[in-house]
Structure 1
Amino acid sequence: MGAPARVLPWTVGLVAAVLALGPALGPGYVLRYDMLFVPGLSLPTVLAGADGFPRAIPSDAVVAALSLVLPGDVVQALALLAVFTLGGAGAFRLLARLVCGAGRVPGPVLAAGAAAGTAYVWNPFVAERLLLGQWAVLLGYAGLPWVVWAVVRTASARPAAGLSGLVCSLVPAAVGGFSSVVLSALTAGPQALAGPRRWRSAGLFLFALVLVSLPWLVPSLSSGAATDPAGVEAFAARSDTPFGAVGSLLALGGVWNSGAVPPGYGEPVTALARLLLCAASLAGWAWWLYRAPPAVGTGLSVSAAAGFGIALLGVFAPGREFLAALIGLWPGFGPLRDGQLYLAPLALVQALGLGAVLLWLLRALPVRGGAGLAADTGGTGPAGERDRSGLPLWRVGAVVFTVFLPVVVLPGLLWGAGGRLAPVQYPDSWLAARDAVAADDRPGAVLVLPWSAYRGLEWSGEPVVVLDPATKLFDRRTLWNDDLRVGAEDGGSVVVTGEDARAREAARLLEPDPETALPGSGRSRDPDALAELLGGLGVRYVVVSAPVDNRFWSGAETLSPVVEESDMTLLEVSDQHIKADKDDISGLEVTGGLVTVGAIIWSIARSGSSLGFQRPQPRTGRGARKEIPK
């Protein structure tokens, strides 16, 4: 590849990142739903984990490790930049490789790659997951084009080279955690089985998936987590356009949370424009399959269809009942609850399809049986002859229009989703509470109140729903309410029971008041008895991370305030009640993490290139012809 083909993909992704994130890249922390970054996240605490399913261990561990050398808000900005930059560059380079192989990339393909890169990171799927705060899932999504090409390369590479390329390409999924690994398996698995040397490719791909999954896979085997089947109804795809749930999913929207829909997306005009763009992109993909099927044509088509089918399961009653039955049989089917997540391969197909549309407009789509583009400048005509018409103005217009069309039909993602991704600073009282707990080397957990994890933060300027930052602020195990209450379309709500058994026991002891989410009247009348119960759970500190009127600790001898401000109160439980052991990290979990880190380091050193897009090396062996340099 020449210099433009090496630099332009990353430029497209970076420009999309700046346009989409805007103020989120400034100083401070963007707090929204699951997007929770805190100053100085504790690495030992992350590795010690909790009793629930270890979803966040890989991403939190990477954030904590980077926070040892960088401020937390800088780590967050880099993570968000990586989503758009990796995703845009990956889709761009995948299209270029599919059309041109390892050869020179002509201008029309560069233009088509830019369109594919923009479409892949600028769509309702990315916007809604970003507004849900699921940056780790999006990081795995950004790595999907790299994984797909790494799978294609395994058919022609030696096993060691193929495995190293796969592991290297799966680094974003390894950081993203189990949902990202599942998406990678769905997106690239059919390609491994559809391509040449399928069983070897599939075996290497499966082995690579296991290698990068060890940090969350090993602790999950002993987590004791349970999955509530009620989550099927709560997380089912919903309509966020006038075209119903099916039309919304086809347009890559339909997320379960109405608060995650970008501004203006559901308006009839913008929704119709978005749906027409998706239809044109799918038509472009179908035309590409007919004209000159790319190496990933069958595999990606199967992945997209399967993902769309999974997303539809939760839309209709029989599908919801089927999913609930599966989860009842085995909690491992829990990830299927959030069906809209599995639109990721369809998003990649649509991005490549939009690139194919631009190739068609520029008369540069290769013919069936051709080996990439025959033209080296402006493209080829329908019969393969060189187009000598130069660079007409209509071509320039077609390129600019197609590349920026995803932005035009989804303006709600611009500049931090219209300011919804605005950074804030943690109050001094919160940092003082964190420092006070960090200065105490005695073991014991932190109980987080109010007993309602997702809520608005009054100090954030404009209150936004977010996971309580106190759940990650302290350098020790925290107990918090991991139940999730989701509003239903009929005005009611669905409560999805949390997975942490120790938190459920804490809830039983607290008997929280439904109105205040503080200890119920039976407990608040005798705070000393409450302190004794909490001490039995191993709780040393109680954090009240919101302004409250019910100061249930007043007059208690066994609950003494350490920090007491309007928006943060830190209470210490008397030492005589504490029955706590130091949270240790399992040796088996440490071994699993070291194996994954070692495999990633080996893959990067072995590949010698970024994320598996390295050029295939020629085979050598007995009987191979050797060229003598002249």
Structure 2
Amino acid sequence: MAGGASQAGRDGEGDLSLEPALRPVARVLPWAWPVLLTVLITAPLLAPGFVVGYDLVFVPDLTLRRDLFGVTTALPRAVPSDVIVALLDEVTGGQVLNKSLLIAVPLLAGLGMTVLWRDLRLGGPLAGAAAITLFVWNPFVAERLKLGAWALLLGYAALPWLVRSALKLRNGDGWVGFLLASAMCALSAAGGVVGLLVGALLLLWPRHTRSAAEPQPRRWPLLGAVALNLPWIVAGLARTSAATTDPASVAAFAARDEGYGGVLPTLLTLGGVWNAYVVPGSRGDLVPLVFAFVMLLASVVGAVLLCRRDRAAMALVVAGVLVLGIGMAGVVAEGAFAWVVEEVPGAGLFRDSQRYLGPLALLEAVGFGAALAALLRVVPLKWLVGATAALMPIAALPQLVGSGLKVSEYPDDWAQARAVLAADPQPGEFIPWPFESYRVPLWNGRRPVLDPMPRYFSRPSLVPDELIVGGHRLAGEDPRAAAVANALRTAVRTGADPTPELLRQGVGWVVVDREAGGPQPRQLIPQLTEEYSGPSVSVYRIEGTPAEQRLRPWSVVLVYAAWVVAAGVLVTAVAGAASGLRRVRSRL
């Protein structure tokens, strides 16, 4: 796959020799096209304000705290991404970082496909542009972007870079790029799993010959990739309670048919997210449906051509089949999968199975480009055919223009409430009120968002982790959050004072979202002192002394040790990249 120029590549470039006037366009197109796609997706998001929605939550200043490292009783759902954000927003500010990371997703994905396509030498710039478009512009990206899965999408954007460096490693080089791409994948647990899967398959896939003269792939970078994922792995394993999941979550998060004749065709066309509210409106319409299946058919043909050319391409096919199987697990084996997530710690990581489709999207994008390259060698009007194919993903999903996200501003009184809460020396964490995971705040245009308060305020919080999906409440995994939720529900039913349980769980404060409605905290918790009241937020102190929450010392040591190991690997990779840049400059 990463060999010298193939006949396909020479023919693809040869098409352009017939039209000398278009040569400058051909040289610029591979680099300009990802930039143009990025502008189309993100331009409306560059207005002043924060882009928040569902799990996309950025704040002016995320304080670096112990709980962000995974030293807590909750599952490490934002490890290590929250630590990275807390470090970077000290340099850029939260708003600039928010927009920069959103821009980075399509830009890095497109540029990564550009360099991968050049290395694969499957065809010319038109076929490459088609591959780039499908990888950047597809339902998986649209749905996950609307859900706010920025860390997962950065891992997705790293996949072409990971594949390219893994192919170089098969020839004995490229460990720096492999570790840097693996680090991007490891920003989220799901992305880390995908990165390890793709990297391992490519590095361990057998060669078609066993010549002693061939360089052997360096497999030790796989250990480095595992080390980069240690923060979330160790934080999950070192919890004081079993990391099992509500079995009802399997059905709630299972992939869904979007009007494509079943779940399997929906997944094959890179859709199927569990949340119907983030599905693009054009999904299932006649024209987008036809385009989707045309691109799927072309991708299959291209994948076959790719595998016939290089045996290593089968590793990508296997990765695509495996993630497709994960995507189907909650549909074809719901009962067995539900038993697994209930009994096996950590298995709940796979309940939202559609989010693992990144390798399939990569395979289809490369296959689409390869099929187009083969077609362009035999058809007239090459630029017309190539341009049509490159624009087909956009025509099938016009809603991705502007990404469907909006810009908002946090209320002014939140900053004042933050200062009050930070200045008080009383110990204890706070709980957001109402004690629910998601909000539909007026300041965000009534768009759903994961409660920003735990990130906005500098004091640590006890975060509710129960979810309401399809009208059903799914149990969370944090025993402390469950104890608080049960105490508050008991107070609603019986009038019993929840204060003793709140203090026992280390809660000393209540921060109230006044726009959220529902019962006021003083109706349930009589022993409150109001410390601040603004138009949209109030801060109450609970009378009494919150109990200190002690974690097992060995678990704390293990979590921090995992961070040290991962940081060491990342620093090594960055140093290797810097050394490589110095060598390049010295030769210029």
Range of TM-score over shorter length? 0.7 to 0.9
Partner of 1:416: 403
Question: What are the ranges of 5 or more consecutive residues in structure 2 without an aligned counterpart?
Answer: 6-22
Partner of 1:355: 369
Partner of 2:119: 97
332 and 558 in structure 1: CA distance in 2 versus 1, 3 angstrom threshold: closer
Deviation track 1:361-409 (CA, whole Å, cap 9, x = no partner) reads 331xxxxxxxxxxxxxxxxx79xxxxxxxxx7x2221232222221111
- Specify the code of the residue in structure 1 equivalent to 2:488: L
Task: Assess if the C-alpha contact under 8 Å between 1:126 and 1:138 holds in 2.
Answer: yes
Task: Assess if the C-alpha contact under 8 Å between 2:467 and 2:476 holds in 1.
Answer: yes
217 and 288 in structure 1: CA distance in 2 versus 1, 3 angstrom threshold: closer
1: CA distance, partners of 2:218 / 2:25 = 34
Residue among 406, 410, 419 paired with 1:435: 419
1: CA distance, partners of 2:108 / 2:521 = 50
Task: Assess if the C-alpha contact under 8 Å between 1:189 and 1:202 holds in 2.
Answer: no
Partner of 2:91: 69
Indicate the SS of the match to 1:406. Answer: helix
Residue among 146, 153, 167 paired with 1:131: 146
Matches within 5 A, 1:157-306: 157=172, 162-174=174-186, 176-196=187-207, 201=217, 203-223=219-239, 224=241, 225-290=243-308, 293-294=309-310, 296-306=312-322
Partner of 1:558: 527
Residue among 475, 494, 501 paired with 1:522: 494
Partner of 2:18: none
Partner of 1:120: 135
- Say yes or no: does 1:59 pair with 2:81: yes
305 and 210 in structure 1: CA distance in 2 versus 1, 3 angstrom threshold: same
- Specify the code of the residue in structure 1 equivalent to 2:513: S
Structure with the larger helix share: 2
2: CA distance, partners of 1:21 / 1:362 = 31
Residue among 519, 526, 535 paired with 2:503: 535
Residue among 541, 548, 563 paired with 1:580: 548
Indicate the SS of the match to 1:541. Answer: strand
Runs of 4+ in 1 over 6 A off after TM superposition: 1-7, 197-200, 554-557, 582-585
Residue among 54, 75, 86 paired with 2:108: 86
Task: Assess if the C-alpha contact under 8 Å between 1:449 and 1:480 holds in 2.
Answer: no
Residue among 336, 339, 359 paired with 1:325: 339
Per mean C-alpha deviation after superposition, the further-off stretch among 405-414 and 258-267 is 258-267
1:566 deviation in Å? 4.2
Partner of 1:591: 561
Indicate the SS of the match to 1:542. Answer: strand
566 and 183 in structure 1: CA distance in 2 versus 1, 3 angstrom threshold: same
Task: Assess if the C-alpha contact under 8 Å between 1:219 and 1:589 holds in 2.
Answer: yes
Indicate the SS of the match to 1:57. Answer: coil
Task: Assess if the C-alpha contact under 8 Å between 1:241 and 1:247 holds in 2.
Answer: no
1:187 deviation in Å? 2.6
1:140 deviation in Å? 0.6
Deviation track 1:476-523 (CA, whole Å, cap 9, x = no partner) reads 321232111211xxxxx43321111110111122126xxxxxx51534
Indicate the SS of the match to 1:415. Answer: coil
- Say yes or no: does 1:43 pair with 2:64: yes
Indicate the SS of the match to 1:331. Answer: coil
1:252 deviation in Å? 0.6
Indicate the SS of the match to 2:287. Answer: helix
Matches within 5 A, 1:389-404: 394-404=381-391
Task: Assess if the C-alpha contact under 8 Å between 1:444 and 1:582 holds in 2.
Answer: no
1:98 deviation in Å? 1.2
Residue among 503, 512, 517 paired with 1:544: 512
Task: Assess if the C-alpha contact under 8 Å between 2:113 and 2:160 holds in 1.
Answer: yes
1:465 deviation in Å? 1.4
Task: Assess if the C-alpha contact under 8 Å between 1:49 and 1:57 holds in 2.
Answer: no
352 and 552 in structure 1: CA distance in 2 versus 1, 3 angstrom threshold: closer
Partner of 2:441: 457
Task: Assess if the C-alpha contact under 8 Å between 1:51 and 1:501 holds in 2.
Answer: yes
325 and 563 in structure 1: CA distance in 2 versus 1, 3 angstrom threshold: same
Deviation track 1:522-553 (CA, whole Å, cap 9, x = no partner) reads 34xx7xx4334322221121012133363342
Partner of 1:21: 42
1: CA distance, partners of 2:70 / 2:417 = 21
Q: CA RMSD in A?
A: 3.0
Task: Assess if the C-alpha contact under 8 Å between 1:327 and 1:333 holds in 2.
Answer: yes
Task: Assess if the C-alpha contact under 8 Å between 1:511 and 1:520 holds in 2.
Answer: yes
2: CA distance, partners of 1:298 / 1:552 = 59
70 and 87 in structure 1: CA distance in 2 versus 1, 3 angstrom threshold: same
552 and 356 in structure 1: CA distance in 2 versus 1, 3 angstrom threshold: closer
400 and 55 in structure 1: CA distance in 2 versus 1, 3 angstrom threshold: same
- Specify the code of the residue in structure 2 equivalent to 1:605: A
Task: Assess if the C-alpha contact under 8 Å between 2:253 and 2:274 holds in 1.
Answer: yes
Partner of 2:482: 504
Indicate the SS of the match to 1:207. Answer: helix
Partner of 2:431: 447
Partner of 1:385: none
3 and 210 in structure 1: CA distance in 2 versus 1, 3 angstrom threshold: farther
Indicate the SS of the match to 1:553. Answer: helix
Task: Assess if the C-alpha contact under 8 Å between 2:70 and 2:559 holds in 1.
Answer: no
- Specify the code of the residue in structure 1 equivalent to 2:561: T
334 and 551 in structure 1: CA distance in 2 versus 1, 3 angstrom threshold: closer
Per mean C-alpha deviation after superposition, the further-off stretch among 65-74 and 326-335 is 326-335
Partner of 1:386: none
Task: Assess if the C-alpha contact under 8 Å between 1:12 and 1:85 holds in 2.
Answer: no
1: CA distance, partners of 2:320 / 2:524 = 61
1: CA distance, partners of 2:188 / 2:518 = 40
- Say yes or no: does 1:145 pair with 2:169: no
2: CA distance, partners of 1:334 / 1:416 = 29
2: CA distance, partners of 1:471 / 1:253 = 31
1: CA distance, partners of 2:531 / 2:373 = 66
- Specify the code of the residue in structure 2 equivalent to 1:266: G
64 and 3 in structure 1: CA distance in 2 versus 1, 3 angstrom threshold: farther
1:468 deviation in Å? 1.0
The number of residue pairs the alignment matches comes to: 551
- Specify the code of the residue in structure 2 equivalent to 1:69: V
1:113 deviation in Å? 2.0
Task: Assess if the C-alpha contact under 8 Å between 1:91 and 1:145 holds in 2.
Answer: yes
Partner of 1:483: 466
Partner of 1:377: none
609 and 334 in structure 1: CA distance in 2 versus 1, 3 angstrom threshold: farther
- With normalisation by structure 1, the TM-score equals 0.81
1: CA distance, partners of 2:483 / 2:526 = 24
Task: Assess if the C-alpha contact under 8 Å between 1:188 and 1:300 holds in 2.
Answer: no
Partner of 1:334: 348
2: CA distance, partners of 1:34 / 1:306 = 26
226 and 314 in structure 1: CA distance in 2 versus 1, 3 angstrom threshold: closer
Percent identical: 34
- Say yes or no: does 1:602 pair with 2:585: no
Deviation track 1:96-144 (CA, whole Å, cap 9, x = no partner) reads 21127xxxxxxx5222222211210100011111111111111111111
Task: Assess if the C-alpha contact under 8 Å between 2:55 and 2:149 holds in 1.
Answer: yes
579 and 310 in structure 1: CA distance in 2 versus 1, 3 angstrom threshold: closer
2: CA distance, partners of 1:42 / 1:234 = 33
- Specify the code of the residue in structure 2 equivalent to 1:508: N
